[in-house]
Structure 1
């Protein structure tokens, strides 16, 4: 029988709306979009898009680890940017986390993101 499990950790920012950090359904983990909030203080990183991208991916990593997954288990990412001008910078940071066996992904520019951030990333992970 299929199981659905809600997962949250204090090592990543608390949800800022009516959602959870992650949902595990059978072997698949769905991680909600993460923005550059510091988990301990819920303050935003505002020192540049590279720093934002690193914080976002640290938050994703904390949620993955909490569920027993790692970046190597990610099969799909969705990257949202406030401007495609940030693509190269975010791509460079992203590549430092996804070194081998990179997942499928899309990267789109959107008009605005929560709290006026420049980067938001969600992932889907799978483990046999």
Structure 2
């Protein structure tokens, strides 16, 4: 069974996709960029943008019946590997005891010229 996830606590999808999908007991999030729930881009530096991405992830995970503690895999897309340490610092605030598997890649460009985008796979309670 496949179930779409939607919450008003995170930005609406900006294309033909959902905020996330639940299949059996796994939640697959769409990539979250630093948009507020109202769809406004966070203008701040990469650390501020990463905090907003985590707010969005927490909201969609909660709607899916999951949490950061249930994340098994995270994929981080960043505009510049030069900012890896700053992003990692914020990432570590959210995953300080529970450390899911992770990939991190530098990309040429992200939607709305974001500096960071993160997607996760998590267990659903």
Distance 1:79 1:125 in 2: 15
User: Which residue pairs with 2:4 in the alignment?
Assistant: 6
Is 1:95–2:89 an aligned residue pair? no
TM-score normalized by the length of structure 2: 0.97
| Structure 1 segments unaligned to the other structure (5+ residues) | none
Dislocated runs of 4+, deviation >2 Å = none
Distance 1:58 1:17 in 2: 20
Distance 1:90 1:26 in 2: 31
User: Which residue pairs with 1:75 in the alignment?
Assistant: 72
TM-score normalized by the length of structure 1: 0.95
1:62 maps to which of 33, 49, 59: 59
Distance 1:101 1:39 in 2: 26
Distance 1:17 1:23 in 2: 15
| Structure 2 segments unaligned to the other structure (5+ residues) | none
Q: Pairwise mapping of residues 1-128 of structure 1 onto structure 2 (< 5 A)?
A: 3-40=1-38, 42-127=39-124
Aligned residues: 125
Shift of 1:68: 1.1
